[in-house]
Copies of this chain bind each other. A is one copy, B any other.
């Protein structure tokens, strides 16, 4: 593969000048620039990004570590991150942590070894010594969706609390009084937040929140299924279930159907995270929609601000309730 030296030789000029042309430095005579450009096309030369990175200490690459690529929420998030990064001239390397802290650490280390310019992370849990150290050591880091308390980096996330209140109000309005939650892992920030908002909302309607109406899952379908099974085995099963993410909602739906019960007639179901498929499930699922694209875009912007040394704040965007048929019929049905 041709190098800058070959181009220089071909154009009868020094490598320094070729480099100037490449980086469109102003001090190059137009005639020379043309000669260089000609040599470049003749040789099919493309600058070696590796060498460039070594010299400039920049890779124009961002690392994105997420918990589960197969979760449509994270897929959409990754897509948004990639789009925005490309717009700004950056590539993205995605690391899929699969909700495993060790795998997350593996990816963080591997990305740092590749000298990515900055890191976007949605941490698997709320304490990662490695991430804390990385952030402290000055590597530009931004948390996306989830974060780690005590680690001082910008956090880009959606505030679900008011939408959760709306959801509970919606359920209450449809007559539900025994409402259960399939929560996320209690060692994730999103896991906790959603539970807290949920309990507050119950409280504000004077509803009880007994322990047996709260199960913890791991954001995977199978755990949603197990949690639903526990609820349905109770002597006074809940009339409505709120799943803290889309995959657990799917699992719960699975279990409910498996028992020959119907949503919403026998039991209502709602989920955190809206995804296109929810329109097409049987019945369409009521969900809390996060502004996924905006989150990804804001995350990249924040990280690039950090890279460029600009001041960067955390961003919290609103989530909103999207009522469909899975909690019972209401007058305000949306498509």
Q: For residue A253, which residues in chain B have a CB less than 8 angstroms away from its CB?
A: 280
Tell which of A32-40, A72-80, A119-127, A166-174 binds the partner: A72-80
Cα A53 to Cα B76 with chains together (Å): 32
Considering the complex, give the chain B residue whose CB is closest to the CB of A114. B49
- Cβ–Cβ contact B279 & A277, under 8 A: no
Identify the A interface with B (CB < 8 A): 46-51, 53-54, 59, 61, 69-70, 72, 75-76, 78-79, 82, 91-94, 96, 109-110, 112-115, 221, 250, 253-254, 276-277, 279-283
Cα A279 to Cα B94 with chains together (Å): 29
- Cβ–Cβ contact B59 & A70, under 8 A: no
Q: For residue A59, which residues in chain B have a CB less than 8 angstroms away from its CB?
A: 50
CB A238 to nearest CB in B, in angstroms, measures 20
- Cβ–Cβ contact B281 & A282, under 8 A: yes
Cα A122 to Cα B59 with chains together (Å): 26
CB A97 to nearest CB in B, in angstroms, measures 11
- Given contact pairs A93-B93, A280-B281, a sample of 4 additional A-B residue pairs in the complex whose CB atoms are under 8 Å apart: A46-B113, A50-B59, A69-B75, A70-B76
- Cβ–Cβ contact A54 & B46, under 8 A: no
Cα A313 to Cα B279 with chains together (Å): 42
CB A251 to nearest CB in B, in angstroms, measures 10
In the complex, 25 of the A-B residue pairs with CB atoms within 8 angstroms, ordered by the A residue number, are A46-B109, A46-B112, A48-B113, A50-B50, A50-B59, A50-B114, A51-B54, A69-B78, A69-B79, A70-B75, A70-B76, A70-B79, A72-B72, A79-B96, A91-B93, A91-B110, A91-B114, A92-B93, A94-B94, A253-B280, A254-B279, A277-B277, A277-B280, A277-B281, A281-B281
Q: For residue A82, which residues in chain B have a CB less than 8 angstroms away from its CB?
A: 69, 94, 96
Cα A46 to Cα B109 with chains together (Å): 9
- Cβ–Cβ contact A50 & B53, under 8 A: yes
CB A70 to nearest CB in B, in angstroms, measures 6
Considering the complex, give the chain B residue whose CB is closest to the CB of A250. B280
Q: For residue A78, which residues in chain B have a CB less than 8 angstroms away from its CB?
A: 69
Considering the complex, give the chain B residue whose CB is closest to the CB of A96. B82
Considering the complex, give the chain B residue whose CB is closest to the CB of A280. B281
Cα A46 to Cα B276 with chains together (Å): 43
Cα A283 to Cα B282 with chains together (Å): 7
Interface centre among A46, A61, A91, A253, by most B CB within 10 Å? Answer: A91
CB A206 to nearest CB in B, in angstroms, measures 34
CB A308 to nearest CB in B, in angstroms, measures 20
Cα A282 to Cα B282 with chains together (Å): 5
Considering the complex, give the chain B residue whose CB is closest to the CB of A71. B75
Cα A51 to Cα B51 with chains together (Å): 8
Q: For residue A221, which residues in chain B have a CB less than 8 angstroms away from its CB?
A: 276
